[in-house]
Structure 1
């Protein structure tokens, strides 16, 4: 069962004089911290038109007041360029950064628009109490960076994870314990996960597994990954029209255009995937979701009508985000930022991931003896049930013969058989730093050794009836005892419109997890599912023993209209129609494996 921890704030406060004025401690010496709602949300506007809901933040006041600031933990920012000599970052920089554009250790951004990595680094570990800017979640954690995204190759990716770089000798004190990956791809259709067909996937998984499990004398490391930003629309390149975004009419019936499980890197166990919430304490409008989400963290909105995230920017008023904005806000010079070294428009799950990475650094700093699975367990056990009354998303559809159905495509908050709360939007919930750090400080119940079962194959060869809520079921019986931490499947199914198909997995305890929401993806790309991997944390703590049910449901699409909005300035929008299919599909086969402990 899930352990319930009461945070003994009063007891700890009695032994810590700093708690006499937490607000003063948090704000003293960093002028922008008063507007950093993700650290302490008082309803401040953060240089936007309005503020959010007080209390919807990382809940880290006491942790910072106790002086737990990330000391002894180094975070790696795998991104674009990072301005490591930024005055709010330079004191936390450690050896080991690398720029794959120049094959040098100089990560300085090469142009004034390469701002992303610097913003991410500031969210994790901008310095505190130095009289400038704001601060990071872990303001005394170490920082290294890799300029990878502007020169992406498999070899560079592997080197950025420390397998070959001399600067990241495994015995080095500065070898990262947290890797932040605020990037991803727009996937228009289900992806194939096959080591033989795509060998880099195996090298990818092997690299992450090796570092996760065996670095730091077996205490390991954690890779944090952003969930993606394609809930409302999707970026795509069309041969005739170039690059742009697709927007479905009727807001895609309230469902994500891209489910995070559609991205292969987000469906691997070795990435801890984070979704984003805003200053009102609800899912950020853009944030992708899925059963693969582990936790949620602040990402904000766009910094215009409501707050984004305030963080480091390229220095100077002629670089970074400053020239792009003419509003009377932080950008272009402000009494709190006279040198234009910060921005108030950072958002996306690119912001949520480094907030999680910073939180992990604080937990590691609070108890350096913890291993990587203990930390994941602590995050799952202490996460806050955000947006608690969210009803989920129902999808109504009409069968070709006239029958009307309503499908629970995204369930409301569920409590599984082990007592863990889970939501497709938020995973286990919002990261709760003070509760996680408290649990970490007094943690003694180390998890049993990790067990990863073989893949178990099931041949189905069963019809997926068109537009029938009953769908088709296939079963697998797990005969061995195992406490679940994660479940993965790989799916083979023929279908001419995967946008119609919902994929569910039901545990022996009756917990239903929607692995793939319907209305996901676009009309472009391959048809059906071919060795498509999906992951769910919904069953955390449950017993794997018993009969597992895979269910595929055709939710009877309809002719759908959507708009392609080209990125090129002045190009007109293009309208398309996705024609509904009225054909049955086929569930061919599937595999399942369990990751957990005995």
Structure 2
């Protein structure tokens, strides 16, 4: 049977003859104007639209003329829809002079099927509005006073990226999880009290009433919005847990347990504490703490690696440097410094060659601090506008990492480090910015720059995992060599050839470390500078005027990220001033990623910054994680930790005598249990 096309054709013909007429009015006055030179016709508040059906003998221009309007042409790509606008009073036809409204003409016109007045529509840009009373004071989230001096997160929130499915644990002095800004997002599964050995990390008020530190950090990360209380967290859709460990004596084993506690529940560990920031301390994680950090990045988060975010420290007024902090210069951590609301280095912030990036915190007395949740104990109000220091910066960074993990859950711990390196932005032109051989800018004051949530999330969306971490380690040079007095210097050179790197397959650098033993009766007089093959210079051991410790440096590892992405091959130069060098060793960490691949990733990420991938259905597949037991049930000792690591190296074992992730044929389990008291302070 033939298909009846004729009725369909008539319908299409009818629809194609519809015209939309728009009469342009901007006033609601319906009277004709008193005539006058250059007087605009009093217009309606809004435009008028008309659908029209015209016979074969009638034209659009005739309709427009009868209504005293002019045809402005078709409306966009809508066939059969036209815009008609009013003309100046001097040229209005007689029908207008009789005060007949054109809408009345069109309504009565036999060829006008329908018309409507088009109104000026009220439309606003999609923006976040919360009823939390102190949200307007959270300048670090939306800085209206200093444009650009915020973390650029609102555009991410508008796309419903709030950290959903991610858990951030605050390792600190406890978290008041009954707090109304925290309770809805609290994760009991990821929490524990290691000071009291129970599952509840509720802080215990002390005489000084200063155990509110962890609660403030938790609020920065995940304070819930729209509850008419206090403020909003940067990743307000994430879960937040607490591990109470700083409210009592801290040992090496206790710290190690904290770093791996519930590491299949907790994705990100936020640590706003470290050794004393007094300008003369050299300390960091001890053997078990180091092993736990390494174990976390290998086995945590189903094999994608726990992400450890640490504060760089607050010893700037003492000329302290975070390379004397073993947590901040570890390759397994993300070290975050602080800038004030103007993007400048605060007085308390420390310089550091191993610092990855900075984000916002307090500045001088006349600058604003961070608004966040606070405990309600000891007559606390539950809200504060006085959270300060790098303690406030690290949780913001942890929250931004949570946003990244929502869009790309399988990012490895090194992927996160790479994305920060690729996306951080310069924020202070007065800082000592240097561009390295791979095109990355770095400053001892600001790392690779200011964290930007929009850039981090867009980069995470398109990021493909980097190749496995590989390393190269020189032989240990033992000697007794006098070091010239500053400003003269002793120079040591390592030449790393392609043959040296062939076994590991390393092409480009990530972290570069130097381990030294130096004797000196006044340690702070020593300065150590490392120069990478590209010529990029890092002050890895800064002079500290008040460090008069006679112990020197005993097998201490300094590190730098300033050579990130550069070719690993070439000559490394160590420059040391003052006293006696006894031992030195160079360690390179990197991957098989080539220099051209680094550049390709840089171009891809800049292309992604428009948001086009974030706004589309684009998605990269995520591999499944490893089936790793959630907890070590047996007593946590150095032996059990090493044994637990061994099966993760493709049926071989992992050598934990060094910080290198190389597989060896057997694990050394004949070691002593270290339990060392570590003095730590919150930042």
- TM-score tier, shorter chain, comes to 0.7 to 0.9
Q: Is the 8 A contact 1:277 1:299 kept in 2?
A: yes
Task: Report the counterpart of residue 592 of structure 1 in structure 2.
Answer: 586
Aligned to 1:292: 354
Q: What SS class does the counterpart of residue 77 from structure 1 fall into?
A: strand
Q: Residue 353 of structure 1: which of 385, 394, 401 is its match?
A: 394
Q: Once the 2 structures are TM-superposed, how far is the Cα of residue 91 of structure 1 from its aligned partner?
A: 0.7
Any unmatched runs of 5+ in structure 1?
1-18, 44-52, 194-199, 234-255, 321-339, 391-411, 555-584
Question: Retained in 2: the 8 A contact 1:506–1:550?
Answer: yes
- Give the equivalent residue in structure 2 for 1:108: 202
**Alpha-carbon separation, structure 2, partners of 1:293 and 1:431:** 12
1:190/1:532 contact within 8 Å kept: no
Question: Which residue, 404, 418, 422 being the options, matches 1:377?
Answer: 418
The answer to whether 1:456 aligns with 2:475 is: yes
The Cα shift of 1:20 comes to: 5.0
After superposition, what is the alpha-carbon deviation per residue over 1:286-324, rounded to whole angstroms, capped at 9, x for unaligned? 01221111110112136x5211100001126x534xxxx
Matched, 1:39 2:141: yes
CA distance in 2, matches of 1:350, 1:521: 24
Seen in structure 2, the aligned counterparts of structure 1 residues 455 and 84 have a Cα distance that, compared at 3 Å, is farther
The yes-or-no answer on 1:214 pairing with 2:302 is: no
Q: CA deviation at 1:93?
A: 0.8
Correspondence list, 1:184-583, <5 A? 184-186=274-276, 188-189=279-280, 191=282, 201-233=286-318, 256=319, 258-301=320-363, 304-315=365-376, 319-320=379-380, 340-390=381-431, 412-444=432-464, 446-454=465-473, 456-459=475-478, 461-468=480-487, 470-479=488-497, 480-481=500-501, 482=506, 483-519=508-544, 521-523=546-548, 525-554=549-578
Shift of residue 365, structure 1, vs aligned partner: 0.9
Number of equivalent positions: 457
Name which one, 1 or 2, has greater alpha-carbon Rg. Answer: 2
Question: In 2 relative to 1, CA 156–495 (structure 1 residues): closer, same or farther, beyond 3 Å?
Answer: closer
d(CA) in 2 for partners of 1:315, 1:42: 30
What CA distance in whole angstroms lies between the structure 2 residues aligned with 1:419 and 1:494? 37
Go from structure 1 to structure 2 and tell me whether the alpha carbon gap of 1:78 and 1:520 turns closer, same or farther (over 3 Å shift): farther
- TM normalised by structure 2 equals 0.64
1:441 shift after superposition: 1.2
CA contact (8 A) 1:96 1:144 kept: yes
SS of match in other structure, 1:128: coil
Relative to 1, partners in 2 of residues 1:527 and 1:350: Cα closer, same or farther, differing over 3 Å?
A: same
2:152 is matched with which residue? Answer: 59
1:266–1:273 Cα contact (<8 Å) kept = yes
- Give the whole-Å Cα distance in 1 for the aligned partners of 2:336 and 2:210: 25
Quote the Cα distance in structure 2 between the aligned partners of 1:542 and 1:592: 16
TM-score normalized with structure 1 length? 0.73
| Distance across 2 between alignment mates of 1:124 and 1:118 | 10
Q: Which has the higher contact order (CA 8 A, sep 6+)?
A: 1
Equivalents in 2 of 1:511, 1:351: separation in Å?
Answer: 31
Note the alpha carbon deviations across 1:148-194, whole angstroms, 9 max, x for none: 0012222322222235xxxx273xxxx1110011111226546478x
Residue 279 of structure 1: how far off its partner (Å): 0.7
Query: Residue in 2 aligned with 1:399?
Result: none
Extract unaligned runs of 5+ from structure 2: 1-122, 593-683
Structure 2 residue matching 1:453: 3-state secondary structure: strand
CA contact (8 A) 2:519 2:582 kept: yes
8 Å contact kept, 1:191–1:530: no
**d(CA) in 2 for partners of 1:538 and 1:505?**
10
Residues 309 and 592 (structure 1), Cα distance of their counterparts in 2 relative to 1, 3 Å cut: same
Distance 1:38 1:162, change over 3 A: same
- Are the counterparts in 1 of residues 263 and 306 from structure 2 also a CA contact under 8 Å? no
Where 1:120 maps in the other structure, the secondary structure is: helix
Note if contact 2:532-2:563 (Cα within 8 Å) is conserved in structure 1.
yes
Conserved? CA contact 2:253–2:288, under 8 Å: no
Q: Does structure 1 conserve the Cα–Cα contact (< 8 Å) formed by 2:259 and 2:293?
A: yes
The DSSP-based 3-state class of the residue aligned with 1:161 is helix
SS in structure 2 at match of 1:34? helix
Q: Give CA deviations for 1:471-498 in whole Å, capped at 9, x if unaligned.
A: 1100112223421100111111222332
The 1-side partners of 2:263 and 2:590 are apart by: 30
Equivalent position of 1:142 in the other structure? 239
